[in-house]
Structure 1
């Protein structure tokens, strides 16, 4: 009996030492109902968190020069003649040729004039024969400023405007001359014939017919 006690006393320290070493190597038991133990991160390379976004791979667009367009086949046959801008725009009326106009013969109206106006009219005639219509018209305009109620001067200026291809202005001057002609029916008649000719150039044929009818009344 004594021997057993001696053996137990001798072996007891080694058993306690072994239990103590085993206690340090085992993980602690979980504690229920208490605070959860925060696990320390292990020493090493940290792992990157996974991103929620998906990585989208993009590719460059293909060069349009490399795209071969498909041939277009219209359902209806195209017209053989191309449509031009001139075909879409309305064509302007062509002025009548001189052969289509009614013959017009102006008169050489002569009335007693002052010496200054006579000189201006003579200069205008010389410029007209030389083809300088602008200078001729300027001389007649100066004469009109001197004698503003001279119907013959307005008729001469109307003839010059007609030669300058200004039929509208010639028509207005001829109307002024007809108003100032008073009892000179011959000048009035030729004024309205000039108006008819100017209207024909402007392709106002109905107005030209009315002006020619008025000229026949003198």
Structure 2
């Protein structure tokens, strides 16, 4: 037992006497053990300039349908055309009734909801127009084309209700969507 203690004591004594070696920071004007000046640390090897940053390319938009005809059945397509004609003829009540029939056939068709919002806007039923446009946005699942039209309807409805702040918020949404759409479209000469 005594010999083990002696070996342990000797190991501790040797460890305490040992000097550490390793790297140390060289500062300008540093000197070595003999007092001679140390050379400066080496710089980066063959430093090359960084390449220019790559241009930021927005991701392409998914292939969203742009018109109701692309996602609607024949009956709804026919009703949408009839409602469009009613609106052009200045008959928003008939347009709204026709679009409500279309919704009974395809209740999740966000283009029909959007067109119904526009019909309510033409009737000056601003609260209903905004509500229908919001419903269309909820169903559209990010379809930028219909969402952009819905925000235009919402902005007009809010203006019609005298809600300047709400209209400004809607205008900001329109600007953001339009910028995203413009960025995703290839430049054409």
Where 1:121 maps in the other structure, the secondary structure is helix
Larger radius of gyration: 1
Contact between 2:67 and 2:111, CA under 8 Å: does it hold in 1? Answer: no
Give the helix-richer structure, 1 or 2: 2
Check whether the contact 2:113–2:133 (CA below 8 A) recurs between aligned residues: yes
Tell me: CA distance 1:192–1:129, structure 2 relative to 1, closer, same or farther (3 Å): closer
| Shift of residue 108, structure 1, vs aligned partner | 6.8
Unaligned runs of 5+ in 2: 1-65, 178-189
The answer on whether the counterparts of 1:189 and 1:216 sit within 8 Å (CA) in structure 2 is no
Please name the residue that 2:152 is paired with: 193
Aligned to 1:139: 98
How many Å apart are 1:173 and its aligned residue?
A: 0.6
How many angstroms apart in 2 are the aligned matches of 1:123 and 1:213?
A: 33
Residue 176 of structure 2 aligns to a residue whose secondary structure is: coil
Alignment match of 1:173 (pick from 127, 132, 135): 132
Superposition deviation, residue 131 in structure 1: 2.8
2 CA distance for matches of 1:141 and 1:184?
Answer: 22
Unaligned runs of 5+ in 1: 1-106
CA RMSD of aligned residues (A): 1.9
User: How many equivalent residue pairs?
Assistant: 112
Q: 1:128 Cα deviation (Å)?
A: 2.4
* Matches of 1:197 and 1:153, distance apart in 2: 18
> Matches of 1:209 and 1:145 in 2, distance apart?
34
Q: Which SS does the other structure have where 1:217 is aligned?
A: helix
CA distance in 2, matches of 1:213, 1:142: 33
Match of 1:150 among 89, 104, 109: 109
Structure 2 length as normaliser, TM-score?
0.54
* 2:72 alignment partner, SS class: coil
Does the 8 Å CA contact 1:109/1:187 hold for their aligned counterparts?
no
Alpha-carbon shift at residue 183 of structure 1 (Å): 2.8
TM-score normalized by the length of structure 1: 0.47
